[in-house]
Amino acid sequence: GAVVSQHPSRVICKSGTSVKIECRSLDFQATTMFWYRQFPKQSLMLMATSNEGSKATYEQGVEKDKFLINHASLTLSTLTVTSAHPEDSSFYICSARPQGEVQPQHFGDGTRLSIL
């Protein structure tokens, strides 16, 4: 089945640091990838849609300069949390949809980000 790999699985860093999270589709090409954030005991909230070769589309309330998204190839999207602060601590999850398919998405295993 479709596999999505997310790296790193856990990051602990100091306030002010920028953190990059990678999302790779291992056995399929994805023109579209999605980035979600999940706070403890809450559901997943879509942050942005990553489009290969073009700018990402951000959901309302998500700062595009804070959460930089790059989708340079059909198998890789990156999310960079710039100048991270404790309130950015969360579980970040990516998903990818095989090219040509409407649904469903396949999710990575998430990245636990802890900002001290």
Partner 1 sequence: GQQLNQSPQSMFIQEGEDVSMNCTSSSIFNTWLWYKQDPGEGPVLLIALYKAGELTSNGRLTAQFGITRKDSFLNISASIPSDVGIYFCMGAQKLVFGQGTRLTINP
Contact flag: residue 100 with partner 1 (CB under 8 A): no
One of 84, 90, 96, 108 touching partner 1 (CB under 8 A): 108
Identity of the residue numbered 43: S
In whole angstroms, the minimum distance from the beta carbon of 96 to partner 1 comes to 11
Contact flag: residue 67 with partner 1 (CB under 8 A): no
One of 13, 44, 68, 74 touching partner 1 (CB under 8 A): 44
Q: Is the N-terminal amide bond of 98 cis, ω within 30° of 0?
A: no
In whole angstroms, the minimum distance from the beta carbon of 16 to partner 1 comes to 26
The residue count of the chain comes to 116
Strand ranges inside 1-116, DSSP E? 4-7, 10-13, 19-25, 32-38, 45-51, 57-58, 67-73, 76-81, 90-97, 106-107, 111-115
Where does this chain bind partner 1 (CB under 8 A)?
4, 6, 34, 42-46, 49, 59-61, 91, 93, 95, 102-110, 112
